[in-house]
Amino acid sequence: MKKIIPILALLFLTSSTIWAQFQVTGTVISTEDNLPIIGASILEKGTTNGVVTDLDGKYAITVGSAESIIQFSYTGLETVEFVVGQRNTIDVNMSPSQNVLDEVVVIGYGTSSKKELTGAVNVVSADEIEALNPTRLEQALQGQGSGVQISSQSGSPGGGFNIRIRGISTNGDNRPLILVDGVRYEDLSALDPADIESVNVLKDATASIYGVQAANGVILITTKKGKKNSKPRVNFDAYIGQQETSRKIPVLNATEYAILVNESYANGGSIPPFNTVSGLGTGTDWQDEVFQTAPIQSYNLSVNGGGDKIGYSVGGAAFTQDGIVGGDKASFERYSANVGITADLTDRLVFDTKLIYSHQRRKTLNENAIGSVLFNALNMAPTMTPFDENGDFTLANGLGNEVVNPLQQIANTHNNVFVNRVFGNASLQYTIMDGLSFKTKMGFNFSNVRAKSFAPIANYGLGKVFNTVESSVSESQELFYGYQWDNILSYNKTYNDVHTVKVTLGTSLQEERYEGLYATGFGIPNNDVEFADLSQATEIRPNGANSGQGQFRLASAFGRLEYGYNLKYLASLIVRRDGTSRFGPENRFGTFAAGSLAWVLTEEDFLKDSEVIDFLKLRLSYGVSGNDKIRDFGYVSTLSGEGTYVFDGGTLVEGTAIGALPNPEIRWERNKQFNAGIDLYLLNGDLTMSLDYFNKENQDLLLAVPVSGTNGTAGPGGGVPLANAGSIRNTGFELSIGYQKQITEDLNVNFNYNVTRLNNETLSLNDGVAFIQGGQFGIGQLPPTRWEVGQPIGYFYGYETDGIFQNQSEVDAGPSQQNASVGDLRYVDQNGDGAITVDDRVKIGSPIPDYIMGFSFGVNWKGFDMSALADAQIGNELVRNYERNLPLTNKTAYYKERWHGANTTTYFPRMTIGANDNDLFSDFWVEKGDYLRVKNVQLGYTLPSSLMKSIGVSKLRIYGSINNLFTFTAYQGYDPNISSGDPLNAGIDIGYYPQARVYMLGVNANF
């Protein structure tokens, strides 16, 4: 279309120029990139006299008089006007339209504008992503919009993130649906954040256009495309940086350790192991041994532009990151390339494609588990040296079966994953008649995931669980591939200038397949990683090779009707019917629907001319969406269990057994969501506010439900069935406030704040079950979390403490408590039966925050720009579970405050190796998880364009940036913003790999 307008304009206007008296010429430049604008309209105001700019942005117009006003306009840019006066040359800088109401919002199978939007949608733009230098896109979403909670699964390079939109709605799969350019795509690690144009998050029921996949919200990612009629533009972005840990956990040094260990032995009636503590000094700081500074770098080069009929973009990127633990043993590399083309094949037929290739390499260490590298660094005795006198790794003898020398562990770890991926889409859009078009689109993805890990023969000391007496190599090759074929008919027409009607009708077919091969070989020659390959293994055992396949299909038809009256009353209606292969024949098809309404009060007469209120809109939406995120074929019973036994003195014999118990009745989970919102713009649009209330109820949750043992699911390779059980309600408020002001021509400031109030409550569980337990605390202890009606999912369940027994009479007077002695934690006898038993456990916290917040700030002055972004969580608890607390393991520094005599402390128990119950899961281990993190601070300088132009650079910006600069928190562990992603194990901190603090220097250049 864009190219048609200038042509028409030309034809239209040429005849009127004969009255010319003044000729004005000039160049029209975009302030965005300092490049000429092709096809901008220039109009003599009040006449039909006009021209358009040529390929160099130049124009020439002849106007009637010196008083004539010339108007410059271009789609997406602010229209500007000048009185001609006596000038013959008028060069114009045009800047992007400041009217946020015209901002494009992607809503699924189509677009809308902020003005017309009836749903609750977060928009994150390329600028906002660019400002953060995220390694993965999820990082750029954190704190950027209300209702979206991002937590890190691990700070290690390539580590994943949990995205939760409007709370946790199931103990099953909480991940939102993610689409890249309209095509379902789940793994964001492959995407280069610099290739992303915008991210739109559909939070409310208007997401129902994605039907059975939309219950956890929908994230729509749009990648960058070339524009038609633009000169080739080269973008180069790069940064290099240095990473370091954002925190070390204070632990005892060697002298403190020896003193306290001696004390604990003496208290336990044993002989203290250290005869003298003098000369021990500070010993080994094991955290210093494992933490290191590590480099990070990113390069991105792209070219885009376009001619009359074609827009193109080509780009390539390289990203490498080493780990702050393990260096190149825990690293991530991504190399990617992409190409996009938009072409007008005929006047009515547009072809569009985007292809992305990505190659990733990731190496990992044992992390986020008992016995992980960081867990060992915390628990390793500081009196031990990394190496013994022979230069070998010191064995961690006597420290417990899971605690080993972390440096030895790093040295013996060889885990590699290589991923090759091609994904993208191609579409043809045909304009049948004005306002009516048909689009067919094929999306596809193909991934080859190859993994190899080598476990050498290793001896970490006596009885260590990591000891291996045989070397082995495990290799796997997995293919994931699929397609998505969408056909969409769109109709868009305005009747009588006031009735706007948009109709979208479509179908979608999707298929995902997976094939995997797995093998393990033993006996690697020389125990050497050089020979770590299946071809070199001396033995492959029965069960040593395996394969797997998977398949999933989805067939859908959908429609959306949008109606607007004079941009004042807006309504939208969505219906989608989905059929998914994940459910049995009886339950495969489901219909989902949603409706939304909006009323723009500022279009009403009583507000139209308000000096104060620029824009005011009320929104309402309600609808039902679904969730089908369960394993494939949960409705059929297959012989996928393990039935292995042994005959003839040691020969493994393979039999068959039933796998997971089928449930032919399973059907989609339903999400019913109500949303009410207000959008309010004040101060000429400088101040924007949105407030939303949501009430989201997920019913018939799709869960792997615990079932009776009599069903026989606990056999090897067996599994519980999937069933529709339970319901959860998330309610809350979201508030976003934005302020931006052009104070002077050179000075511009902006602030943004958003806050989400969350309330999570379980409404029901599967029949008859009072609660479901989960999580792990310590070793061999009862499960520490519960899911129970009336409570938030995964709340912490343990003993409440009431200080410390200060003297024997307090012990004697209290309820009977196993192993209780002076100096021990005193537990509360909740049921008053005179004894501390498992029945005295109560709720002692919840991992779900009450509030999540984001805050950003930016200022531009002349060529300088500065920005900062912070995010915060308030009201959740975290559990310290990284302390092994064995007689000779190291202790966290707070044990210096331990009880060691009457009234020495009312909080920290005594140290003893004797029998005690202080390690039971109690509120002693539960801490406030509140934090405020300065995620990013950046200072940039854009060199004057006058200077740069002479060397052919249209824009050059250099900047320095710091990620995760500081975290304000009282939490003692490494990182408060971390979670396994399992709702019943959330907030239990096993020594999570922290997110690194990153110092970066970078450059953004356009040519």
Partner 1 sequence: MKNIIKYYVFTFVLLGLVSCEDFVDIEPLNQVNSENYFNSEDDYQQALIGAYDLLQSSYINVMIGEIASDNTLCGGENANDVVGLQEIDDMTHGVVNEQLRSVWQWMYAGVNRANYIFEFRDKTDFADKDNVLGQAAFLRAYYFFELTKFFGDVPMPVDKRVQFGDEKDLVRTPQAQVFAQIETDLAFAASVLPETQAQKGRVTKGAAMALLGKAYLFQNKFGEAAQVLEDLIGMDIYQLHDNYDNLFLQQNENNIESVFEIQYSNLEGAGFGCLQCSEGNVAVGFNGVRGITGPTYATGFSFNVPTQDLVDAFEAGDGRYRATIFDVEAYKAEMAVQGIEIDYNEGFEHTGYFNHKYIPRQGESFQDPNLTNSTNYRSIRYSDVLLMAAEALNRGGISDDRARAYLNQVRQRASLGPVDASGSALTDAIWQDRRIELAGEGHRFFDLVRIGQAASAIPGFQANKNELFPIPLIELELAGSNWAQNDGY
Residues 378-417 that bind partner 1 (CB under 8 A): 397-398, 400-401
Is the CB of 313 or the CB of 663 nearer to partner 1?
A: 663
Tokens coding 973: 């562990």
| Residue 555 lies near partner 1 (rule: CB under 8 A) | yes
* Shortest spacing between CB 78 and partner 1, in angstroms: 39
In a 3-state reduction of DSSP, which class is residue 837?
Answer: coil
Using CB under 8 A, which of 364, 427, 581, 817 touches partner 1? 581
| Residue 272 lies near partner 1 (rule: CB under 8 A) | no
**714: exposed, middle or buried (C-beta count within 10 Å: 0-12, 13-18, 19+)?**
exposed
Nearest alpha carbon to residue 169 among 104, 215, 130: 215
| Residue 657 lies near partner 1 (rule: CB under 8 A) | yes
* Shortest spacing between CB 644 and partner 1, in angstroms: 6
Nearest alpha carbon to residue 356 among 187, 157, 552: 187
Tokens coding 550: 């998977």
* Shortest spacing between CB 507 and partner 1, in angstroms: 4
* Shortest spacing between CB 917 and partner 1, in angstroms: 6
Nearest alpha carbon to residue 713 among 640, 665, 664, 661: 661
Using CB under 8 A, which of 782, 859, 953, 965 touches partner 1? 782
| Residue 516 lies near partner 1 (rule: CB under 8 A) | no
Candidate ranges 230-238, 600-608, 661-669, 892-900; the one touching partner 1 (CB under 8 A): 661-669
Phi and psi, residue 188, nearest 5°: -80, -5
Helix spans in 131-225 (H): 137-141
Candidate ranges 110-118, 319-327, 595-603, 914-922; the one touching partner 1 (CB under 8 A): 914-922
Site for partner 1 in 121-160 (CB under 8 A): none
| Residue 542 lies near partner 1 (rule: CB under 8 A) | yes
Using CB under 8 A, which of 273, 717, 863, 960 touches partner 1? 717
* Shortest spacing between CB 470 and partner 1, in angstroms: 5
Which helix (H) or strand (E) segment holds residue 378: the answer is helix 373-379
Which helix (H) or strand (E) segment holds residue 266: the answer is helix 254-267
| Residue 636 lies near partner 1 (rule: CB under 8 A) | yes
Query: What does the alpha-carbon distance between residue 194 and residue 236 come to, in Å, rounded to a whole number?
Result: 10
Beta bridge pairs of residue 351: 343, 428
* Shortest spacing between CB 543 and partner 1, in angstroms: 6
Is the CB of 662 or the CB of 863 nearer to partner 1?
A: 662
Is the CB of 226 or the CB of 718 nearer to partner 1?
A: 718
CA gyration radius for the chain? Answer: 32
* Shortest spacing between CB 828 and partner 1, in angstroms: 18
Question: Are 937 and 867 in contact, with CB atoms under 8 Å apart?
Answer: yes
Site for partner 1 in 436-465 (CB under 8 A): 438, 440, 462-463, 465
Candidate ranges 276-284, 597-605, 700-708, 808-816; the one touching partner 1 (CB under 8 A): 700-708
Using CB under 8 A, which of 93, 415, 448, 487 touches partner 1? 487
Question: Are 625 and 594 in contact, with CB atoms under 8 Å apart?
Answer: yes
| Residue 811 lies near partner 1 (rule: CB under 8 A) | no
Site for partner 1 in 465-484 (CB under 8 A): 465, 467-470, 472
* Shortest spacing between CB 50 and partner 1, in angstroms: 34
CB-side exposure of 882: number of CA atoms within 13 Å?
28
Tokens coding 576: 């989608």
Query: What does the alpha-carbon distance between residue 708 and residue 400 come to, in Å, rounded to a whole number?
Result: 35
* Shortest spacing between CB 254 and partner 1, in angstroms: 21
| Residue 579 lies near partner 1 (rule: CB under 8 A) | yes
Question: Are 166 and 730 in contact, with CB atoms under 8 Å apart?
Answer: yes
Query: What does the alpha-carbon distance between residue 943 and residue 959 come to, in Å, rounded to a whole number?
Result: 11
Is the CB of 541 or the CB of 949 nearer to partner 1?
A: 541
Find where tokens 């749009």 sit: 222
| Residue 860 lies near partner 1 (rule: CB under 8 A) | no
| Residue 656 lies near partner 1 (rule: CB under 8 A) | yes
Is the CB of 240 or the CB of 489 nearer to partner 1?
A: 489
Candidate ranges 153-161, 417-425, 917-925, 950-958; the one touching partner 1 (CB under 8 A): 917-925
Is the CB of 683 or the CB of 915 nearer to partner 1?
A: 915
Query: What does the alpha-carbon distance between residue 201 and residue 217 come to, in Å, rounded to a whole number?
Result: 7
Count residues binding partner 1 (CB under 8 A).
102
Candidate ranges 106-114, 116-124, 375-383, 916-924; the one touching partner 1 (CB under 8 A): 916-924
Question: Are 306 and 232 in contact, with CB atoms under 8 Å apart?
Answer: no
Query: What does the alpha-carbon distance between residue 783 and residue 765 come to, in Å, rounded to a whole number?
Result: 18
Is the CB of 349 or the CB of 498 nearer to partner 1?
A: 349
Candidate ranges 21-29, 126-134, 648-656, 966-974; the one touching partner 1 (CB under 8 A): 648-656
Using CB under 8 A, which of 269, 279, 391, 585 touches partner 1? 585
* Shortest spacing between CB 161 and partner 1, in angstroms: 24
Is the CB of 288 or the CB of 347 nearer to partner 1?
A: 347
CB atoms within 10 A of CB 651: 9
Query: What does the alpha-carbon distance between residue 646 and residue 113 come to, in Å, rounded to a whole number?
Result: 67
Nearest alpha carbon to residue 77 among 56, 60, 53: 53
Using CB under 8 A, which of 279, 391, 649, 832 touches partner 1? 649
Residue 108 vs residues 207, 595, 731, 837: alpha-carbon distances, Å:
8, 15, 24, 54
| Residue 644 lies near partner 1 (rule: CB under 8 A) | yes
Say how far residue 632 (Cα) sits from the centre of its chain. 25
Nearest alpha carbon to residue 750 among 861, 852, 851, 614: 861
In a 3-state reduction of DSSP, which class is residue 207?
Answer: helix
Query: What does the alpha-carbon distance between residue 326 and residue 290 come to, in Å, rounded to a whole number?
Result: 7
| Residue 31 lies near partner 1 (rule: CB under 8 A) | no
Using CB under 8 A, which of 76, 85, 232, 715 touches partner 1? 715
Site for partner 1 in 865-894 (CB under 8 A): 886
| Binding-site string for partner 1 from residue 920 to residue 949, where x marks contact by CB under 8 A and - marks none | x-----------------------------
| Residue 834 lies near partner 1 (rule: CB under 8 A) | no
| Residue 1000 lies near partner 1 (rule: CB under 8 A) | no
Nearest alpha carbon to residue 334 among 356, 315, 360, 299: 360
* Edge-to-edge strand ranges of the sheet holding 41-44: 50-52, 41-44, 69-73, 80-83
Nearest alpha carbon to residue 124 among 110, 142, 136, 112: 142
* Shortest spacing between CB 340 and partner 1, in angstroms: 24
Site for partner 1 in 673-692 (CB under 8 A): none
Using CB under 8 A, which of 272, 295, 327, 550 touches partner 1? 550
Is the CB of 168 or the CB of 765 nearer to partner 1?
A: 765
| Residue 662 lies near partner 1 (rule: CB under 8 A) | yes
| Residue 271 lies near partner 1 (rule: CB under 8 A) | no
| Residue 9 lies near partner 1 (rule: CB under 8 A) | no
| Residue 807 lies near partner 1 (rule: CB under 8 A) | no
Tokens coding 475: 């290799």
Please give the angle made by the CA atoms of 476, 481 and 484, to the nearest 5 degrees: 160
Residues for the chain: how many in total?
Answer: 1007
Question: Are 991 and 374 in contact, with CB atoms under 8 Å apart?
Answer: yes
Tokens coding 258: 């020896």
Using CB under 8 A, which of 642, 686, 761, 810 touches partner 1? 642
* Shortest spacing between CB 779 and partner 1, in angstroms: 7
Site for partner 1 in 289-348 (CB under 8 A): 346
Say how far residue 697 (Cα) sits from the centre of its chain. 23
Question: Are 826 and 813 in contact, with CB atoms under 8 Å apart?
Answer: no
